[in-house]
Amino acid sequence: MNKTILRLLLVVVATMFVAERAMAWENVGHAVIAYNAERLLDPEVKAKCRHYLKASIPFYATWMDQARSIEPYTVCDKWHSTNIDAKNKVVVGKPTTGAYHIERIRKEMANGAYKTMSDSLVKINLQYLIHMVGDHHCPVHVRWSKKSHPQFHYNLLNKGKKRRPHGFWDGSIAFRRGKWTAEKHFENMQLLSPKQAKKMQKGTAYDWTQETADVWRKYCFPAMPEGTDISKMSEEDVATVHAIVDKQVQRAAYRLAGVLTEIFKE
C-alpha cells in the first residue's frame, strides 16, 4: 500500500518537473528577452508589432511552448532547438530545426513582403520569431547527438539527487535571483552603442546557434561539469552562470529587436 502511494506521489512530482522543464528558457527567460527586445525597438517598429500582435511582444513570449501541444501548431514542436553535427558545426537547412524556420520567416517577411500576408499570418510568424530567437540563445537548445557527443549527456546534482543540465540552464536566468521582474532584468542588461548593436545583430540564426553551441562547449559545460551540486554552488559559481546567461539574453534581445526592425522598418 505504502509503495503504491509512494510511486503515485513520485509520478505526480516527476510530471510537474517534466512539464516545467519542457519550457525552454522557462517563462521568465522568454519574458525577459521579449521585454528587453521591445525596449530596444524604435517606436515605429514597436507600433507595427503591437498592431499585428494586438498585444505587447512579451505577451507572446511563451506562446510557442503552449502551441507545441495545440493543433495545428504541433508541427513547431521541433522548432525550439537546432542540431549540431559531429564536428561541432550547426546543421543547416534541416526543416525540423528552429534556425531553419527563423531564416525562412525572415526571408518570407523581408523587404515589405509581410504586407502581402494576412494579418493573422504576420501575427503567427511574429509569435514564432519572438520565441525561437530566444530559444536559440539558450545554451541547452542546441541538440548534441548522444553518439557524437556522449560527454554532453550527463547529470548534475541537486542536494545529491540527479538533475539534467537542461532543466538547470533553462531556469538559470532566474536562478537565485528571487522575484526579479522583467524590468529589473532590463536594468541589469548591458546596453550597447548603435554600432555595437549592429555588429551583434549581424548574421543568420545559424550563426547565432553556432555561437550558442560554442558557448555551451566553452563555458557552460566547463562551468557545470558532471556531478556539480546546484545546491552547493558558491556565490562565485552563481556569478559565473549569470555572466554566461546574461550575455546570451543580451544577444537574444538585441537580435530579436534586429529581426523585427529588419522586417518592419520602412
Partner 1 sequence: MKKIFITLALVMGVYSAQAWNWVYDQAALLLAFENMTPVAQAEMKKYLGEDIRNQVQTFEKARKKGNLLETADWRTISLDMNLRPVVADDKNAIAQLENAVEVVKNQANKDNDEVEFAIRKIIELTIDMHNVANVYLAEFPYSKEDFEFQQSAGGYGKREKFRTRKWKHFWTYGFSVFHSAWSAEMHVRDLKVCHGRNKEKYMAGTIRTWASDMGNLAKPLYEWAGPDCELSRQAHSEEEERFYAGVARAAYRIAALMNEATK
- Binding stretches for partner 1 (CB under 8 A): 2, 5-6, 9, 12-13, 15-16, 18-19, 22, 26-28, 31-32, 35, 50, 54-56, 58-59, 62-63, 66-71, 74, 174, 179-183, 185
Q: Is 92 exposed, middle or buried (0-12, 13-18, 19+ CB in 10 A)?
A: middle
CB of 26 to partner 1, least distance (A): 7
Give whichever of 147 and 159 is closer to partner 1, judged by the CB atom.
Answer: 159
Give whichever of 99 and 182 is closer to partner 1, judged by the CB atom.
Answer: 182
DSSP string, 87-138: TS-BPPS-TTSHHHHHHHHHHHHGGGGGGGS-HHHHHHHHHHHHHHHHHTTS
CB of 29 to partner 1, least distance (A): 8
Are 89 and 72 within 8 A, CB to CB?
no
Give whichever of 30 and 149 is closer to partner 1, judged by the CB atom.
Answer: 30
CB of 170 to partner 1, least distance (A): 12
CB of 61 to partner 1, least distance (A): 8
Other Cβ atoms within 10 Å of 218 Cβ, number: 11
By C-alpha distance, which of 208, 220, 219, 214 is closest to 252? Answer: 208
By C-alpha distance, which of 106, 98, 104, 173 is closest to 143? Answer: 98
CB of 183 to partner 1, least distance (A): 6
CB of 51 to partner 1, least distance (A): 10
Give whichever of 1 and 235 is closer to partner 1, judged by the CB atom.
Answer: 1
Measuring CA to CA, how many Å separate 54 from each of 48, 86, 107, 162, 226? Answer: 10, 43, 23, 43, 45
